[in-house]
Amino acid sequence: MNVTLWGTRGSLAAPGPETARYGGNTSCVEVRGPDGTVLALDAGTGLRRLGAALPRGLRRVDLLLTHLHMDHLQGLGFFGPLYNPAMEVHIWGPASTTQNLWARLTRYLSPPLFPVHLRDLPCRLSLHEVPCGEFEIGEFRVTSSLVCHPGPTVGYRITTSGATLAYIPDHEPALGARSFPIDEDWTSGYSVAAGVDLLIHDAQYSSSEYATHIGWGHSSLKHALDFAALAEVKRIVLFHHDPAHNDDELDRITAEAVASARPPFSVTPAIEGTAFELGNNAFALGANQV
Ligand SMILES: [Zn+2]
Ligand SMILES: [Zn+2]
């Protein structure tokens, strides 16, 4: 499977010269299977470029939302396939106890927040509330599980022949733990991430910043590395960078966290445009910039 990072920022898009290397777009990741199935993970502002880069002739795309915070939704109205009558678009997202997915998405995709109403989009649109369990999309087996973050939020575990990816961009597994990590059975997100080839995980804060943001739903870099160690992943991508962190700060806090934790797996800070190739018993890190 091929994994491309189209948006790596959390909370708010942060374009500018000080963030040019890591990128300013919010959460969006593309996953392509060997047979051509295309998944988009989250609809942050990176989704616009993802939509523009899809292969000609593609007739179906599945968009998997972890939750509906704006930094994971703001690109949705600018996703080209929504305006193509020949395109089948499936949007998957977590259920809520208050309103269904259609009603919750319409709060953004309707005036006055957006000029086009969800019901008027010309594509063939289907909405699905994700089951908490396993389901199939084309060649992928997908498992979703609720994780610790404000509001209904899931993480995704995505498997195809010979490769498994976990995507948990907004996650605070250390919340409520006297010391972290704790026992795996009591750790939010553990089953999503256990043993994966690549884990894309929340790493919004430095340890000192986390101390003043407990309960905000995010991880420190240290907690992300501790979580990855508990789950025995092969590689972690540190994702959902705080909008206040510029390129030099991200270099520094990543180096400090890795030097302190000395993890037995590879650590890669998420850089917009990076592509990874997973599978066939060989894990190649591609530094291909799109
Ligand atoms: Zn977020
Ligand atoms: Zn969030």
Q: Would you state the torsion angle of the CA atoms of residues 1, 158, 160, 287, taken in this order, to the nearest 10 degrees?
A: 20
Q: Which ligand is nearest to the CA of 72?
A: 1
**How far, in Å, from the CA of 214 to the mean position of ligand 2?**
14
Question: Separation of 28 CA from ligand 1 center, angstroms?
Answer: 10
User: Would you say residue 285 has pLDDT above 80?
Assistant: no
E strands in 9-162:
28-32, 38-41, 60-64, 88-93, 124-129, 134-137, 140-146, 154-160
- Residues of the chain above pLDDT 90, percent: 93
- Residues that place a CB less than 5 A from ion ligand 2: 69, 170
How far lies 125's CA from each of 81, 90, 135, in Å? 10, 6, 19
* pLDDT tens string 177-187: 888 998 999 99
Average model confidence (pLDDT) for the chain?
95
pLDDT of residue 115: 97
Provide CB contacts within 8 A for 103, sequence distance 6+. Answer: none
Question: Which segments of 198-289 does DSSP mark as H helices, in order?
Answer: 207-210, 221-231, 247-261
Please write the tens of the pLDDT for every residue from 215-230.
Answer: 999 999 999 999 999 9
Rounded-to-integer distance, Cα 269 and Cα 247, Å: 11
Measured in Å, residue 173 CA sits from the centre of ligand 1 at: 15
Residue 188 has pLDDT above 60, yes or no: yes
pLDDT single digits (tens) 11-26: 999 999 999 999 999 9
Q: How many angstroms is it from 199 CA to the middle of ligand 2?
A: 18
Q: What's the pLDDT at 287?
A: 44
Q: Is the confidence at residue 281, as pLDDT, over 60?
A: no
* Ligand located closest to 71 CA: 1
Question: What average pLDDT does this structure show over 187-201?
Answer: 98
Query: What's the pLDDT band for 289 if we cut at 50, 70, 90?
Result: low
200-215 residue pLDDT tens: 999 999 999 999 999 9
pTM equals 0.96
**Tokens, residue 250:** 């991200």
CA of residue 69 to ligand 2 center, whole Å: 5
Ligand nearest to the CA of 26: 1
Tell me the CA–centroid distance for residue 50 and ligand 2, in Å: 21
pLDDT score at 117: 96
pLDDT band for position 65 (cuts 50, 70, 90): very high
